[in-house]
Amino acid sequence: MTLTPAMVTCDTTDALSLGRWWAEHTGGEITEDNDGWFVVVALPGGLRLAFQKVDDPTPGKNRLHLDLVADDLDTAVAELRAAGAGHVADREVPGFRWVTLSDPDGNQFCVSGPHEASS
In order along the chain (119 residues), what is the average pLDDT of each group of 10 residues? 82 95 97 95 95 87 87 96 97 92 94 73
65-91 burial, b at 16+ Cβ within 10 Å, e below that, comes to bbeeebeebeebbeebeeeebeeeeee
Q: Where exactly are the structural domains of the chain?
A: 7-55, 64-119
- Least Cα distance to 28 among 48, 11, 13, 6 occurs for 48
Note the pLDDT of residue 57: 80
Note the pLDDT of residue 112: 94
Instruction: Give the architecture-level CATH label for domain 64-119.
Output: Roll (3.10)
Note the pLDDT of residue 117: 55
Note the pLDDT of residue 115: 77
| Class of domain 7-55 as given by CATH | alpha beta
